[in-house]
Amino acid sequence: MKKLLCVICSLMICFAVYAQQLPRVKILATGGTIAGKGASADRAAYKAGSLPIRDLISAVPGIEKVAEISGEQISNVGSQDMTVDIWIKLNKRINEIFKNNEADGIVITHGTDTQEETAYFLSLTCRYDLPVVLTGSMRPATAISADGPKNLYDAVTVAASPNSKGRGVMVVFSENIFDGRGVEKISTTHVDAFKSPNSGPLGQVYDGKVVYYMHDLRKANKNTPFDITGLDKLPNVAVAELYADAPSTAIDAYVASGVDGIVVSGLGNGNLNKANVEAVTRAIAKGVTVCRGSRVVSGRVTLFDETDDAKLGTFVADDLSSQKARILLMLGLTQTKDKKTLQDYFFTY
């Protein structure tokens, strides 16, 4: 009887210790304004990507109560200098961390300029459904009311939450939680800089609480065909933006430079003026894949509206921004050049 009591007691102690264990969150730092440093209390002449990861973590009081934190520096750049090479490195490291059970969730600190692109790239290429959360800041770490520490605290809270599993790659900013597919930077300077123009946020994070309102039903998740393990290069896809009376110079130059694909950031519902219809026809004749996107911030580009895609040889970006359509086309071209399959990708992911 005594022995049995002893065993029960030790089991209870083990359980209590286990129950107290915090989720393990790994922070991968890539740079950005969140790691930015300036000489004055405003944003004047600050330099993004200056502070190392340990400084970012030590500026967040209480973070150690939310999760067991570890950190790694992947790069330290302003995200205007984000590259496909860094994306590939990030993707490899994330898949490795989850494969080796090194963390329960990952937070990526990142500049805001291209944060939505990295989030979508990782949504399509990450092979695990554990939480990956990007965040950043609009004010450098040295500014009055720097927003970085709060965003980082919130991002860690979301990454540590059991409710975040299976929700793909997300962006946390100004207490909002966005899915990596829908989110866009919508302000150049405001602290509340991100929105999902077509679908709204997935939820909110506040006072250490995570509340989800909805699920993203698109399939930009671990099951996409875009397993890039083993690749160290991706097809070269460019974006050509149109405007009133735009000449064909950009498209012709991209074709001459040898791109594999072009997303035309067209007018309204992805419309092209005559000069660019001709340029697209020339591009396709030379084997370049062309997707019709739009420069408009919300809505979708529809097939066969004002433009006859079958005749022109194009397909549409659906509701993706042109910069995100570029990412899907880069990854799509690793699989196929077939237009119907590529179009299906755009309606699915």
Angle CA 229–231–236, to nearest 5: 135
The tokens describing 306, both together, are: 């004002």
Identity (one letter) of the amino acid at 269?
A: N
Residue (78 or 203) nearer to ligand ASP, CB:
78
Known binding residue 260? Answer is no
Residue (84 or 303) nearer to ligand ASP, CB:
84
The tokens describing 259, both together, are: 């791109």
Known binding residue 113? Answer is yes
Residue (112 or 161) nearer to ligand ASP, CB:
112
Binding range to ligand ASP, per CB under 6 A, among 55-63, 111-119, 125-133, 233-241: 111-119
281 tagged catalytic: no
Q: Does 38 bind ligand ASP (CB under 6 A)?
A: no
Known binding residue 40? Answer is no
Of positions 10, 40, 58, 80, contacts ligand ASP by CB under 6 A: 80
Q: Does 246 bind ligand ASP (CB under 6 A)?
A: no
Q: Which of these is catalytic: 33, 109, 125, 307?
A: 33
Of positions 75, 91, 95, 112, contacts ligand ASP by CB under 6 A: 112
Q: Does 83 bind ligand ASP (CB under 6 A)?
A: no
Cα distances (angstroms) measured from residue 285 to each of 53, 266, 282, 288, 298:
49, 20, 5, 7, 31
Binding range to ligand ASP, per CB under 6 A, among 76-84, 169-177, 259-267, 298-306: 76-84
Q: Does 113 bind ligand ASP (CB under 6 A)?
A: yes
- Kindly identify the residues of this chain, within the stretch 175-214, that bind ligand ASP according to CB under 6 A: none
Q: Min. distance of Cβ 80 from ligand ASP in angstroms?
A: 5
Q: Does 174 bind ligand ASP (CB under 6 A)?
A: no
Residue 33 · residue 46 · CB < 8 Å: yes
The binding site consists of 79, 112-113
Per CB under 6 A, residues contacting ligand ASP are 32-33, 48, 78-80, 111-113, 136, 138
Active site residues: 33
